[in-house]
């Protein structure tokens, strides 16, 4: 499936590491004009060297006002990937207000805010667009110590459908990708115990976790015209986990 995003303006959040970083690289290689948004400037500097010509924006997306200042006038965006997230581990009985607020602010509130900025721009310019939320299979199943994180992902499923319904008449499609574990920095932190990782992997029918590339390919498909009639959906990239 050869995709072409030549000249299309795209914005990716959480672009400094992991899935977001590889999404920027893929979009850049396929000709998109990418705005890479992340929290750590050194990550964005090294990404710029790998992808000459991208625009970078360094902001903590948990901060509503700073995000408005950084992205309020970001310019045209036709393709949006809401990927930034944090996954703190806390047993349900030990969930703190600080962790709850920060996780919801990064994973959910910033997704709403950035989507509003971008969708308003699309509607103002009268162009079609595609928005992809990077969610998780834990929107559908739970894993230990991830109740808050999983709740943000569950809420993303509802926002995906609500946004698809309200933005569809403007030719804006909204979908999510829902991966199982990917061994990025986040995945390695969540699955630091090798025995738990081994047992979890064995519960996947394909006997593996997902690769970053698998997730990026699904994101690219949903951004592209190849999914022109798909909106309000979530693609599982879960090595069959939910079928088991
Ligand atoms: P990583 O932790 O490897 O990368 C996350 C990126 O998001 C980093 O560049 C990070 O920057 C950035 N980010 C985090 N918080 C903020 C913030 N407040 N403002 C701006 N940028 C921020 O995560 P992954 O690549 O693994 O995860 C990407 C997406 O995939 C997430 O939505 C995650 O929930 C989802 N996912 C991941 C899975 C996994 O197992 N890895 C499984 C299923 C879904 P910095 O490091 O500077 O904070």
Number of structural domains (the chain) is 1
Q: Which of 17, 70, 178 has the most ligand 1 atoms within 8 A of CB, as the residue to mutate?
A: 17
pLDDT for res 228: 97
**Does residue 199 belong to any structural domain of this protein?**
no
Mean pLDDT estimate for the chain: 97
Give, using CA atoms, the residue closest to atom 11 of ligand 1: 39
Q: Evaluate if residue 1 carries a pLDDT over 90.
A: no
Q: Show the tokens assigned to 93.
A: 């009985």
Going by the DSSP 8-state scheme, the letter that residue 138 receives in this structure is: G
**Does residue 25 belong to any structural domain of this protein?**
yes
Classify strands 234-237 and 55-58 as parallel, antiparallel or unpaired: unpaired
Range of the domain at 233: 9-181+212-239
Active centre residues (catalytic): 149
pTM score, whole prediction: 0.99
pLDDT for res 2: 75
Q: Evaluate if residue 106 carries a pLDDT over 80.
A: yes
**Does residue 142 belong to any structural domain of this protein?**
yes
Q: Which residues pair with 55 in a beta bridge?
A: 35
Sign of CA dihedral 197, 237, 24, 132: negative
Give, using CA atoms, the residue closest to atom 34 of ligand 1: 85
- Give the pLDDT band of residue 146 (cuts 50, 70, 90): very high
Determine the distance separating the centroid of ligand 1 and the alpha carbon of 13, expressed in angstroms: 9
**Does residue 187 belong to any structural domain of this protein?**
no
C-alpha–C-alpha distance, residues 89 and 73, integer Å: 35
Q: Is 181 helix (H, G, I), strand (E, B) or coil?
A: coil
Give residues (CB < 6 A) around ligand 1.
Answer: 14, 16-20, 38-40, 43, 60-62, 83-87, 106, 134, 136, 179, 181-182, 184-187
**Does residue 14 belong to any structural domain of this protein?**
yes
What is the tens place of the pLDDT at every residue in 166-182?
A: 999 999 999 999 999 99
pLDDT for res 240: 98
Q: What is the CATH number of the domain that holds 153?
A: 3.40.50.720
Determine the distance separating the centroid of ligand 1 and the alpha carbon of 88, expressed in angstroms: 11
**Does residue 143 belong to any structural domain of this protein?**
yes
**Does residue 191 belong to any structural domain of this protein?**
no
Proportion of the chain above pLDDT 70, given as a percent: 100
Going by the DSSP 8-state scheme, the letter that residue 145 receives in this structure is: T
Of 32, 59, 60, 34, nearest to 47 (Cα)? Answer: 34
């Amino acid at each position: 499936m050869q995709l072409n995003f030549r000249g299309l303006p795209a914005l990716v959040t959480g672009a400094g590491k992991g899935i977001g970083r590889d999404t920027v690289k893929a979009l850049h290689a396929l000709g998109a004009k990418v705005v890479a948004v992340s929290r750590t400037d050194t990550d964005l500097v090294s990404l710029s060297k790998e992808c000459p010509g991208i625009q970078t924006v360094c902001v903590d997306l948990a901060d509503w006002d700073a995000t408005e200042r950084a992205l309020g006038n970001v310019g045209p965006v036709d393709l949006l990937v809401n990927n930034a997230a944090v996954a703190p581990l806390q047993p349900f009985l030990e969930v703190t207000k600080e962790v709850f607020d920060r996780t919801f602010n990064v994973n959910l509130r910033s997704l709403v805010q950035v989507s509003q900025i971008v969708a308003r721009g699309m509607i103002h310019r009268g162009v079609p667009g595609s928005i992809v939320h990077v969610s998780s299979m834990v929107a559908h199943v739970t894993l230990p110590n991830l109740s808050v994180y999983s709740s943000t992902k569950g809420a993303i499923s509802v926002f995906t459908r609500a946004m698809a319904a309200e933005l569809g008449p403007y030719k804006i499609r909204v979908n999510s990708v829902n991966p199982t574990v990917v061994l990025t920095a986040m995945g390695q932190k969540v699955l630091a115990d090798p025995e738990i990782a081994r047992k979890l992997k064995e519960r996947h029918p394909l006997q593996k976790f997902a690769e970053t590339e698998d997730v990026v390919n699904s994101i690219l498909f949903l951004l592209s015209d190849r999914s022109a009639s798909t909106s309000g959906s979530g693609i599982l990239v879960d090595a069959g986990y939910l079928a088991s």
